[in-house]
Amino acid sequence: MKIGLGLPGGTIDERRLRFARQIGATHIVAHLVSAPSGHPLEARGYRVSEPNARAFSKAGLAELKAQVEARGLRLEAIENFAPADWYDVLLDGPRRDEQMETVARVIRSLGDLEIPTMGYNFSVAGVWGRGAVPEARGEAETVAYRDPEQPPIPLGMVWNMVYDPDGFDPDDPTRVLEPISIDEHWRRHDRFLDEMLPVAEAAGVTLALHPDDPPLATLRGTGRLVHRPEHYGRLADRHPSPRWGFEFCIGTLAEMPGSRILDVVDRYSRTGRIAYVHFRNVVGVVPSYKEVFVDEGDTDMLEAVRILQRNGYRGVLIPDHTPLVDCDAPWHAGVAFALGWMRAALRSIDALDDSP
């Protein structure tokens, strides 16, 4: 298996890439939508998604790939579409056709540039409701979900990001999204794949789905897709294309009640449809859980890599996110600890492939 690092948008520069290589990553997963846009709403704590960001253009992706390769690394995947580029795909809105074409263009660009995987999270509510708490080992700051009240989603927002700043008024309780049923959400996702998988097949790009975090059946009135492990199986049966797979987030899957996570790792790694792995650990399950260091959670992560190896998985593991370590560089220390642990774990079972 190979070790990668996920890098948030706006942070990918030469120094960050050297850091990745120095701590033993050979592969990069780039998140391009998390970069701040500079919009005034960000000062009020909202994240804003700008449309047609240059980062997603073929020129932008080519530049990113060249930058990654110049540091001796390989660009394994781009993770997540920009909400501004595909909100009406999620909402089944009037601009859906146009936005499907934008998504298709991104996938074709990845294919042209031989970037193998596009990770995505088909979710209206997105990752929401977790707060920072000093509850990982040694009071390290991490995130926890503690069953908060779920206000409806203001219009102009999907995936916890504002795509329409002019139409967004979080203080007006009448300007909120109507509920979306689970069945309706599944229907929209099936339609998305029915239309987009032929594009991915032609481009030679794998679409890899992240499970819903937090894994609840509904969140803020909107249905969720993969909130139990068996939903991955259901989707794999419905969409047998080799260009559809799992962005296999062990942390999120472990947050699902009764999931017996090592059995889940065993079952789904046998299918050969894991595109790449988010390798992180948690304590608890919904509606109450927290993220922790890789070696302190409920999941025996060493056993997880043994199972992946035994079942023939040879792809990339990234640490997803980690608690922040108290020092001058909390993020760097957190991921460096995770990568060191992961390299040693793979080495101990003779499973580390160190070639970019």
C-alpha to C-alpha distance for 24 and 225, rounded to whole angstroms: 34
C-alpha to C-alpha distance for 232 and 218, rounded to whole angstroms: 17
* Number of chain residues interacting with Mn ion (CB under 5 A): 3
| 317: contact with Mn ion by CB under 5 A | no
Contacts 24+ apart (CB under 8 A), 14-18: 14/67, 14/71, 17/67, 17/68, 17/70, 17/71, 17/73, 18/71
The residue written with tokens 């501004």 in the block is 84
Kindly state the smallest distance separating residue 218's Cβ from Mn ion, in Å.
20
Residue number, 100 or 265, with CB nearest to Mn ion: 265
224 φ, ψ (degrees, to nearest 5): -115, 165
Kindly state the smallest distance separating residue 46's Cβ from Mn ion, in Å.
22
Kindly state the smallest distance separating residue 210's Cβ from Mn ion, in Å.
6
Kindly state the smallest distance separating residue 166's Cβ from Mn ion, in Å.
32
| 209: contact with Mn ion by CB under 5 A | no
Closest CA to 156 of 138, 143, 136, 171: 171
Kindly state the smallest distance separating residue 194's Cβ from Mn ion, in Å.
25
Question: H helices within 1-114, ranges in order?
Answer: 14-22, 58-70, 83-91, 96-112
| 143: contact with Mn ion by CB under 5 A | no
Kindly state the smallest distance separating residue 295's Cβ from Mn ion, in Å.
18
Choices 182-190, 229-237, 294-302, 312-320 (CB under 5 A): range interacting with Mn ion: 312-320
Residue number, 67 or 281, with CB nearest to Mn ion: 281
| Contact call for residues 166 and 48 (beta carbons, < 8 A) | no
Residue number, 110 or 208, with CB nearest to Mn ion: 208
Residue number, 243 or 321, with CB nearest to Mn ion: 321
DSSP state of 165: G
Question: Considering only residues 263-282, where is the footprint of Mn ion by CB under 5 A?
Answer: 278
Q: Which residue is nearest to Mn ion (CB)?
A: 249
Q: Residue 8, class by beta-carbon neighbours within 10 Å (0-12 exposed, 13-18 middle, 19+ buried)?
A: middle
Kindly state the smallest distance separating residue 290's Cβ from Mn ion, in Å.
15
| Contact call for residues 1 and 355 (beta carbons, < 8 A) | no
| 31: contact with Mn ion by CB under 5 A | no
Residue number, 85 or 320, with CB nearest to Mn ion: 320
Exactly one of 142, 320, 322, 352 binds Mn ion (CB under 5 A); that residue is 320
| 291: contact with Mn ion by CB under 5 A | no
Nearest-10 Cα torsion for 97, 194, 118, 301: 140
Question: Considering only residues 228-257, where is the footprint of Mn ion by CB under 5 A?
Answer: 249
Closest CA to 28 of 111, 109, 122, 117: 117
Residue number, 85 or 247, with CB nearest to Mn ion: 247
Residue number, 8 or 60, with CB nearest to Mn ion: 8
C-alpha to C-alpha distance for 271 and 289, rounded to whole angstroms: 28
| 79: contact with Mn ion by CB under 5 A | no
Kindly state the smallest distance separating residue 225's Cβ from Mn ion, in Å.
14
C-alpha to C-alpha distance for 148 and 351, rounded to whole angstroms: 41
| Contact call for residues 5 and 339 (beta carbons, < 8 A) | yes
Residue number, 111 or 334, with CB nearest to Mn ion: 334
The residue written with tokens 């089944």 in the block is 92
Residue number, 77 or 155, with CB nearest to Mn ion: 77
Write out the residues near Mn ion by the rule CB under 5 A: 249, 278, 320
